[in-house]
Structure 1
Amino acid sequence: MAHGWTPLNVHSHYSLLKALPTIPDIVHQAKTLGYDAIALTDAGALYGAIEFYKAARAANIRPIVGVDAYVAPRTRHDMDAVIDRSRERLILLARTTEGYRNLIRLVTRSYTEGFYYTPRVDADLLKEHAQGLIALMPANAGKAAQQLRNGNREGALAALRELKEVFGEHAYAQVTLHPEAEMHDALMGELVEAAREVGVPVVADREVYYLTPQDVEAYATLLKVQQGAYDPTTPPEDFDLSLPSAETMEMLYRDLPEALANARRVADMSEIDIPIGEWKFPQFPLPKGVTPQQELERLAWKGVAWRGLDPNNPKVKQRLSYELSVIEKKGYATYFLVVGDLLREARSRGIYTTIRGSVAGSLTTYVLGITNVDPLSFQLPFERFLNPERPSAPDIDMDFQDNRRDEIIEYAREKYGKDKVAQIGTFGTMLARASVRDVARALGYPYAMGDKIARLIPMGRQGFPVDITKAMELEPDLAKLYKENADARRIIDLARKIEGKARHISVHAAGVVISPDPLTDHVPLQFDPKGTGKLITQYEMRSVGEDGVGLLKFDFLGIRNLSILADAVARVERNRGVRINIEHIPFDDQKTFEMLARGETMGLFQLNGSGMTQFLQELKPTTIHDINAMVALYRPGPMESIPQYIARKHNPYLVHYLDDRLRPILERSFGVIVYQDDVMMIAIELAGYSWLEADKLRKAMGKKIPEVMAEEKEKLLQGLTTHGMSQDKAQELWALIEPFAAYGFNKAHAASYGRVAYQTAYMKANYPEEYMAAVLTAESGDTEEIAKLIAECKRIGITVAPPHVNFSDVYFSEVPGKREIRFGLLSIKNFGESVAKEIVADREAHGSFSSLEDFLARANPASLNRRALEALILSGALDNLGYAREQMLAHIERLLAYTREIHAGEQAQQSLFSAPDETHPPLGLPPTPPLPLRERLAQEKLLLGVYVSGHPLDEYRDLMGRRKITNRGIKERVPVDVTATAAGVIVELREVYSKRGEKMAFALLEDNEDRIEIALFPETYRTYREIVTPGACLAVEGRVTRRNDEKSIVAERIQTLDEVRNKLKGRPAVSAASAPAQAH
């Protein structure tokens, strides 16, 4: 039914920590209260506009799209800290579709031109974009109300006249009544009189920030969650800011009937039409008279020869003709042309790329150069990517070197228009654990209280977070705490109400939109809040794409391993004069497969980690298909099939098929289901499914919803039996298929990633120094990862030399002619890139540093500060320049003063280093007691991630040498749940609290070869806490387990190596530290 009153000022959680309700909640509550129209007016932004528009229309409610805009006190360009930080608000509602577009432009410009603490419009912008808009001057934060509050009635009248001048008959003054606040209602009386005097109609309204009065505590808590987020233009907390019923408002405004009628009048005025789901393809430049489809076909057939395929081969001819006909029917030619253009540009710039996902199943994309996997050779189905029945658009995920990805985004902006290209925005939300901690802090509870509850909430997995309600079902201790502890119950109840709400907007990891016309015809834009200067959409991916305004999304992903490959290839050419085309390396290289069989996987793409390494050692891969299969199978669910795959590869007699019709589908994988495509082809070939039905089965398995899975199981079993399979065999086949639910990999994706994995393995096997130097460079700054990689270098016979100002480059560098890699200066912790580059540049220009005095004299004191100099000293980068580390460290202020004195008479420097001069006076540092060895080593470990001048275990060399298994051996060969003993030095100790609030710890125990994680549960930690300290050399006995895809040990018994050695005097073997892993 139509009401006499309509809510016109409703805020959702997209007001970012200023309001509570989600869009579905708003629409549901509006429906419950009987409203047939409602407005969404979030603070300064249009983030939720499309979601709101769709949800309201689906509920048969008229959506009124608006914004609660901030208005600059002067102009949007003025940003004085005193004058311009204050602001007013103005509620703007889209009256027409043109008004909706003007809202988009206003909001965009408020962010890109007027942002100062908040996005701000000004009078000029309002005049320029007033067409099609309704303006409501807010009752609380509007200019007229503020002037009245300050006793300036003339100012209020002037503000209302200005509003009327800009918006004419579509200008209104909002009136809100709050009987609980007498002063406010008195102010409203003055506002009504002023509006009547000027001739601006008044509108009865309510500022809605939550939906029911019961939500007020959650709302107040939300405002406190982010310290400093208080907005003075938000109504006071003691106002009732819930969504009222129409009856409540009619009673409240019974003495102001015209205000109620005006609210309805405003609602009736608003009639906008936003096209949803209508594709808007970019404009691709074409020769005159040529259609996108014609250009695509020309390039495709030309690409057949480029790829070395025979255009007269019936398979090639039939497949390509079929694919092109499907693309034409679906109208997607422009999409393929744009993607092909982007990737051709990347190749022309020498940027390494690959493609992920099912697109590798397309011959069209292969001959266009979009993909690098031949779908005919790998038997990849095109229909998995695109088929005539599939309603959704194709999705091509482009991977680029992560250090050059932005180049291609910038190219897209230059070619297709800077006003037509933007990255997609995405929202960070309040997850369960964070919500609990935030609520506890906001309510003033000690940190330990919130942390105790948060730790009881399971972490979930990426993309599938566990919410509080689910956590209560999964974790009995959480449910018990909720039941027994009133404080915990209060925290959890409030956390439930703020959980899942939008917290901030950021840049989507990959998504970019390219529009045929200016983006502000379709989506509001803003800059990345982190200050990167990137332009992003305010609409998230679903609202931008086919479920929203129909802009075409392109995924530009940055992959570090592609950067590593490019770097390694460049190093090989520089050092050896060998030019490698990574796309044309032999994919049957024996050295590569032998290396993988040895388990030398550290630093490889997709193939590292102890679990994968162990399987590769057992598999002993011999083809690229083995690599692809391992990439696909090493996931929860499918992983159960790996032992079977390995056994069948080594023993063909074990290969069998439940049905002979499975042979052509599974022959290459020895009869084992490996890919999502296998499941789909089984459904098509053995159960009579269409591609659309098979795709529906795939999606159902991916979502793993029990009810849907049960339906699909029944349908598949019926199809199998109808097409000649027995009931028993059909059930057996389902049992093989079911583990793929939610985790199965598509075959084309595995082929693309398997190719990159092989390429990294090939480079490591054939050019180990260059490849490992590239990997080490990519990991610079992560001392833990550097330590692992250096251990791998030592394992494969590569020496890693410490940093030195006379020998190191900026980054890790291989030493030509030697199996040696040298630390880069940038790899020293606390040492900056600019000073590292200047040191290397000066050395290359003027020669090595002959002494410490020479180094200091050539340094600019403005750049070589105490922190940087200390890092050079303690890392050993200034060793052998005339003084010991302890001398330099003890007199570091004198060294810095020496540099300043040398430069005192010089004019402003243009670079870090001055020209070398052999006449510098000697420092003459006095002798200093040597640094204790352990302190020296500890500093090296801290700054470099490794020990370079010795090792804490050197004094236990005889003891360590008598072990029968190393830490690496435990990780690679000892099964889970078997007891083993690890030995080494504690390089990291992290104390945490158990679910019951007891202190426990995780430690990293490192020997000369590798490190292994040790878990010390509360009782064990209490027992051995005094000896488990950083730098302690220990033997740890315990049960082997797996955590985060790595083997670790749950400690049961711990001894210092000194204790072990003392016990072993006169005995032939080490009992605690050398016993081979065995079950007790």
Structure 2
Amino acid sequence: MFLNCHSWFSFKYGVLKPEALLEEAAKAGVRTLALTDIHCSAGIPDFVRDAPRYGVRPVAGIEFRKGPRLLYIGIAMNNNGLQQLNELLSPHLLDDEAIPERAPALTDVFFIHPFSHAPQQLRPNERVGIRPSDLTRLPFSPWVKRQHELVALMPVTFRRCERTSVRGCEGERVMEPGTLAPSHSLTSSPSKKDYNTHRLLRTVAKNTVVSMLPKEELAQADECFRSEEEVRRIYNDHPQLIANAERVLEQCSIVFDGSDKTRVAFTNDVRADREKLHRDTREGLRYRYPEVTPKVLARMHHELDVIERMGFISYFLINQDLVNYARSRGFFHVGRGSGANSLVAYCLRITDVDPMELDLYFERFINPARKKPPDFDIDFSWKDRDEVYRYVFNKYNSTDGRAGGIHAAQIATYTTFQWRGAIRELGKAVGLPPVEIDALSEGDHGYYSRGRPSAHAKSNEVDKVAQAVVRYGQQLIGMPHHLGIHAGGIVITEKPVTHFSALFRPPKGFPVTQISMLECEDMGLHKFDLLSQRGLGHIRDAVELVQASSHKDQASSLNAGALEACDLKLEPCDFRAAVDIHDIPRFKQDPAIKELLRKGDTIGCFYVESPAMRMLLKKLQVDDYLGLVAASSIIRPGVAESGMMREYLLRHNDPERMKQAIPRLLAIMPETYGVMVYQEDVIKVVHLYGGLDLEESDTVRRGMNLRYRDRPEFKVVEKKFFENCKAFGYPPGEAEEVWRQIQSFASFSFAKGHSASYAVESYQSLYLKAHHPLEFLVGVANNFGGFYRLEFYLHEAKRAGAVIEAPCVNASEELCALVQVEQVNGQWRIANGASLHSPTPIRHSPSDPRIYLGLSNIKSLENESVELILHERRRKGPFLHLEDLLKRVPLSLEQARILIRVGALRFTGKSKPQLLWDLTLLHKPASVTADGDLFITRVEEPRLPDLQHYLLADAYDELDLLGFPLCDPFSLVQAGEWELANGEWNRSDRSVPFTSPHSPFTPPPPFILKRDMPSHIGKRVSMLGYMIHVKSATTQTGNYMSFGSFIDTAGDFWDSTQFPQVAARYPFRGRGVYRLTGVVEEEFGHYSLRTTSMEKLPWKPDPRYGEK
């Protein structure tokens, strides 16, 4: 009877997760159940997996609709039937094809049509569903004589509740389930909470308010489970309908056995695959190891044997094919994840991590007891990854566009409702004003805090509607909102992907499954991770800049993203042409890199540039590869927040501290002082300390994924761990502490091979920063996405000797460009011949390299304007003056004003006020022609009054249009009553009042710079800092504290700590210059300021607008 059940994968319609459906079915004594979500098959794998635990036989299907109208319900007879349903649905989700009004003839599918518009002629596999509400009309319908084609249809959307009415969230009566005749009255009704949640979800889906939601958008009120007795009473006059429904369900069966479903053979021949893997591995062994030792050879043979026995040959060869293609296209990649533990992967050049050097644990990657597939994460530049995707999809998918010809697809994720989003959606649905929605979602306006009344809120402060929004907002948290896309996961299957899931196509254009990576693993699908990151992008671009600079006839203005535009013809980048970026052994011994690591001078370098990481490097005094590998892992939240990072630091710097380690853990992990740092450590500890076998140990490791911890198999091994520890006689509390450490890893720890891969990429960044700093920093700036804002990468470039220039229509490219300037006949020029004359003297040597900000770095300058300027400049050369620019490029008045304000026309020698005046006279958009004027003419310039130009005004224009000033930010500060002069604090004569935290009769503590901190340990001092970054943290007692990073007036970086009391009293108030007072502290060679007071200093007023 229950042929049409909805879970919460009927997005913004269903309210129950698949397991909740099974729980309700078990309570009602239902033995067979069909999950048929609306246009979705995402819930089927979990439903099929969990059903036996509830004594329910699972049946799978899909419900097809056109808007709110039900077309038909498809129920799969078997796995082939599920594939047919997925292929029926996928064209609609992939290409927006209309779902057929009439169900197609599918051999392994039952179709159930609604009674209201069933076709008159039915195929043998088609039935008409009769709902309880249809029973009163059935006797008057021709179908009453064709009862062998009818089935009892009782949809399920809600839990049951022993009530006869449900009230809406506004308090009005919203639904009466008594839609049946008295003889068929119900003894149960849907849960009030479920029904109202459903009603609100439908309102959110239709982007309306509850009172305006059409009735047909809602499920009927009788859609909940009934006991067998209730069902037979409802269909008492038509028992054959129940028998027909049971007969349909009996003929349906879905099984997912979890066996390998990935592509069986890379070459279409299993034997040829084996030969290729062995041959390529042996060749790679000679490439990687000039001298092959017996230990290396034994490891290779062992791995090949395990890979073959586990059936993973094609998995390795497909990954090898992907990186070979990338290499042939000049794309840089990094292979990481647990796959970096494999010597075979190292020989196939999937990864650059030597597992022998690091003694990596191969069994973390593959072992005979582990049934789950191995894990490779292959990173590409964010600019290159999509082309690799296209290669995969073109190689493994048919070209005819059929869903059934798709064998490669991206993996979905489930985007769920979170607190703020849920409150905002529901607030709009019930018509709350925006100010109340803001208050409820933020939780700090006397309404509610994270779903609980705040301590100072009174009951009458929140009306009933707002209370309902908060209550139902809690109900929505964690419920799927829509399907997303995994960051880089794809599946490549032997059978079509539709055998496992329906497909949809997001705007990016590649097919995506409806199931997540966990469901893929459960179904035996290996995940291939093709990820993108900007770190590889900046390495690639920096290498190309270095390579380009080695060409004799290159243009002197180089841009990492515009080489083609500079008419510089380069072949696909050979990374060994100018610098061998893969020469990791040499990098590991490079003294300049060691020095950068010890000092923590790593801004811009992949994974090691954050304030916390730079602090850790200084405290550990890391200067070698193994130390960097460990640091890359202990900085992760799982290790850091559990206290294990702190313990590692103490044991690293004080060998006596190791005496406090648990002896058994120290014996297992001597390299990391008995501290769990890597995921392999979890496997080792659970296996060697807790006595679990390798398969059980891997179950614990997978339990680091919080979603996996709820599974029964994890609970079983947790119980066994403690039973074994008790049997081994471990001291009281020791096993609990070890388990706490294991749990603290959550989903944040790294495999050692993963950390090693990151360390390799860090070394590549460090090499470029040490030996080609300007090319490197231009690459970082042009790939965005770094830890810091662009301003601070430019600050690093200044420290490396570059002059930072504002955008210029004659010198800038789209992105930042490294430009060499020459002085020719008394004029400053670049390679394209453009003059760089400035109205103010240039105080730099002509030989100083310059970094010109790109035109795209200008806020509010449209992409079209950027493209037009660059195109015209390349077509006919540099612009001569403002009039020439306006004649050749069709700029709007506002776009031209932006260019003038940012200084992009300073080459004219005129001030900004003069140029703005000229613009009002010259701007005539209609006069622009494609070819310009035949002769260059100049309009006689009018005589202007003296127009004042303020350098401070330039800084304000830069703040507005670039987001930061190009001048020294400390020069913009109005210090108030006390100000810095000649290195000392003095009384200020400024007219703008500003209150100092210090008494006018007691000067503040001595002002120091970062370089003075070692001589002031334990002393109270004051420091000026231009804020770089603030990180908030929560103490164990739930109080907030913060960590600040600053630049001092000498340009050096320093850190501060604000404990809860100070953080509450002196909060950060946005970007700017701060004056901090506190005590200098030192730990393991790292200096910081423990703040006792802090204030943000105001900017000087913009002179164009007076003191106000």
Q: TM-score, normalised by structure 1?
A: 0.78
Tell me, which stretches of 5 or more residues in structure 2 are unaligned? Answer: 161-189, 399-405, 552-576, 821-846, 986-1005, 1033-1040, 1101-1108
Q: Is the 8 A contact 1:42 1:66 kept in 2?
A: yes
The Cα shift of 1:65 comes to: 2.0
CA offsets, 1:57-116, max 9 Å, x none? 443323332222125xxxxxxxxxxxxx8966222222344432221111112223444x
SS at match of 1:900: helix
Query: Which residue of structure 2 aligns with residue 210 of structure 1?
Result: 158
CA RMSD in angstroms, aligned pairs only: 4.8
Q: Are 2:797 and 1:798 aligned?
A: no
Q: Are 2:275 and 1:294 aligned?
A: yes
SS at match of 2:521: coil
Which of 923, 928, 942 is matched with 1:902 structurally?
928
Q: Is the 8 A contact 1:970 1:980 kept in 2?
A: no
Which of 71, 75, 92 is matched with 1:93 structurally?
75
The Cα shift of 1:513 comes to: 0.8
Distance (whole Å) between structure 2 residues aligned to residue 394 and residue 96 of structure 1: 29
Query: Which residue of structure 1 aligns with residue 127 of structure 2?
Result: 171
Q: Are 2:908 and 1:881 aligned?
A: yes
The Cα shift of 1:868 comes to: 3.5
SS at match of 1:136: strand
User: In structure 2, do the counterparts of structure 1 residues 685 and 788 end up closer, same or farther at CA, with 3 Å as the change threshold?
Assistant: same
Q: Is the 8 A contact 1:330 1:388 kept in 2?
A: yes
Query: Which residue of structure 2 aligns with residue 133 of structure 1?
Result: 109
Q: Are 2:521 and 1:546 aligned?
A: yes
SS at match of 2:90: helix
Query: Which residue of structure 2 aligns with residue 430 of structure 1?
Result: 417
Give 1:854-873 correspondences, 5 Å limit. Answer: 854-859=884-889, 861=890, 864-873=891-900
Q: Is the 8 A contact 2:12 2:202 kept in 1?
A: yes
Give 1:838-987 correspondences, 5 Å limit. Answer: 838-859=868-889, 861=890, 864-881=891-908, 883-889=910-916, 895-897=922-924, 899-903=925-929, 909=930, 918-919=936-937, 921=939, 924=942, 929-930=947-948, 935-948=953-966, 951=969, 953-954=971-972, 958-959=980-981, 961-962=983-984, 981=1022, 983=1024
Q: Which amino acid in structure 2 is aligned with residue 216 of structure 1?
A: Y
Q: Which moved more, 1:367-376 or 1:225-234?
A: 225-234
Distance (whole Å) between structure 2 residues aligned to residue 651 and residue 540 of structure 1: 46
Distance (whole Å) between structure 2 residues aligned to residue 823 and residue 663 of structure 1: 53
Which of 182, 185, 189 is matched with 2:137 structurally?
189
Distance (whole Å) between structure 2 residues aligned to residue 225 and residue 380 of structure 1: 50
CA offsets, 1:802-826, max 9 Å, x none? 1111111221122346443221111
CA offsets, 1:820-855, max 9 Å, x none? 322111111223445434433433443221111111
CA offsets, 1:202-236, max 9 Å, x none? 44434433223222222222222345279969454
Which of 216, 221, 242 is matched with 2:200 structurally?
221
Q: Is the 8 A contact 1:846 1:916 kept in 2?
A: no
Tell me, which stretches of 5 or more residues in structure 1 are unaligned? Answer: 1-5, 72-84, 145-158, 178-184, 458-467, 904-908, 992-999, 1060-1080
Q: Is the 8 A contact 2:983 2:1007 kept in 1?
A: no
User: In structure 2, do the counterparts of structure 1 residues 620 and 658 end up closer, same or farther at CA, with 3 Å as the change threshold?
Assistant: closer
Q: Which amino acid in structure 1 is aligned with residue 280 of structure 2?
A: L
Distance (whole Å) between structure 1 residues aligned to residue 490 and residue 755 of structure 2: 24
Which of 566, 571, 575 is matched with 2:545 structurally?
571
Give 1:206-605 correspondences, 5 Å limit. Answer: 206-212=154-160, 213=190, 214=192, 215-228=194-207, 234-236=216-218, 239-268=221-250, 270-286=251-267, 290-311=271-292, 313-418=293-398, 419-447=406-434, 449=436, 451-452=438-439, 454-455=441-442, 477=454, 487=464, 490-528=468-506, 531-543=507-519, 545-548=520-523, 550-576=524-550, 579-585=578-584, 586=586, 587-605=588-606
Distance (whole Å) between structure 2 residues aligned to residue 262 and residue 445 of structure 1: 49
User: In structure 2, do the counterparts of structure 1 residues 677 and 200 end up closer, same or farther at CA, with 3 Å as the change threshold?
Assistant: closer
User: In structure 2, do the counterparts of structure 1 residues 914 and 756 end up closer, same or farther at CA, with 3 Å as the change threshold?
Assistant: farther
Q: Is the 8 A contact 1:599 1:617 kept in 2?
A: yes
Distance (whole Å) between structure 1 residues aligned to residue 895 and residue 35 of structure 2: 54
Q: Which amino acid in structure 1 is aligned with residue 195 of structure 2?
A: V
Q: Is the 8 A contact 1:389 1:691 kept in 2?
A: yes
Distance (whole Å) between structure 2 residues aligned to residue 277 and residue 666 of structure 1: 34
Q: Which moved more, 1:229-238 or 1:389-398?
A: 229-238
CA offsets, 1:955-995, max 9 Å, x none? 769548447667978999999x998755468999999xxxx
CA offsets, 1:550-609, max 9 Å, x none? 232211111210111111111111124561221114221111121232332221212122
Q: Is the 8 A contact 1:619 1:646 kept in 2?
A: yes
Q: Which moved more, 1:364-373 or 1:392-401?
A: 392-401
Q: Which amino acid in structure 1 is aligned with residue 866 of structure 2?
A: A
User: In structure 2, do the counterparts of structure 1 residues 69 and 768 end up closer, same or farther at CA, with 3 Å as the change threshold?
Assistant: same
Q: Are 2:84 and 1:102 aligned?
A: yes
Q: Is the 8 A contact 1:310 1:316 kept in 2?
A: no
Q: Are 2:619 and 1:610 aligned?
A: no
Distance (whole Å) between structure 2 residues aligned to residue 765 and residue 990 of structure 1: 28
Query: Which residue of structure 2 aligns with residue 149 of structure 1?
Result: none
Distance (whole Å) between structure 2 residues aligned to residue 437 and residue 1033 of structure 1: 35
Distance (whole Å) between structure 2 residues aligned to residue 783 and residue 744 of structure 1: 20
Distance (whole Å) between structure 1 residues aligned to residue 737 and residue 28 of structure 2: 52
CA offsets, 1:768-807, max 9 Å, x none? 1011001111128x99711222233334443322111111
SS at match of 2:928: helix
Distance (whole Å) between structure 2 residues aligned to residue 241 and residue 960 of structure 1: 80
SS at match of 2:374: coil
Query: Which residue of structure 2 aligns with residue 809 of structure 1?
Result: 813
Name the structure with the higher helix share. 1
User: In structure 2, do the counterparts of structure 1 residues 891 and 258 end up closer, same or farther at CA, with 3 Å as the change threshold?
Assistant: farther
Distance (whole Å) between structure 1 residues aligned to residue 1009 and residue 726 of structure 2: 52
Q: Which amino acid in structure 1 is aligned with residue 371 of structure 2?
A: P
Distance (whole Å) between structure 2 residues aligned to residue 890 and residue 361 of structure 1: 66
Query: Which residue of structure 1 aligns with residue 628 of structure 2?
Result: 627
Q: Is the 8 A contact 1:44 1:67 kept in 2?
A: yes
The Cα shift of 1:1006 comes to: 7.9
Q: Is the 8 A contact 2:9 2:43 kept in 1?
A: yes
SS at match of 1:564: helix
The Cα shift of 1:382 comes to: 1.1
Query: Which residue of structure 1 aligns with residue 781 of structure 2?
Result: 776
User: In structure 2, do the counterparts of structure 1 residues 598 and 945 end up closer, same or farther at CA, with 3 Å as the change threshold?
Assistant: farther
Q: Is the 8 A contact 2:343 2:355 kept in 1?
A: yes
Distance (whole Å) between structure 2 residues aligned to residue 1001 and residue 210 of structure 1: 46
CA offsets, 1:447-498, max 9 Å, x none? 55555554459xxxxxxxxxx99x78xx894798899967465344322332
CA offsets, 1:723-776, max 9 Å, x none? xxx959988995996696435432211111111112111211111101100111
Distance (whole Å) between structure 2 residues aligned to residue 662 and residue 51 of structure 1: 37
Q: Is the 8 A contact 2:668 2:685 kept in 1?
A: yes
Q: Is the 8 A contact 1:886 1:930 kept in 2?
A: yes
User: In structure 2, do the counterparts of structure 1 residues 987 and 553 end up closer, same or farther at CA, with 3 Å as the change threshold?
Assistant: closer
Identical-pair percentage: 26
Equivalent pairs, count:
958
Q: TM-score, normalised by structure 2?
A: 0.76
SS at match of 1:582: coil
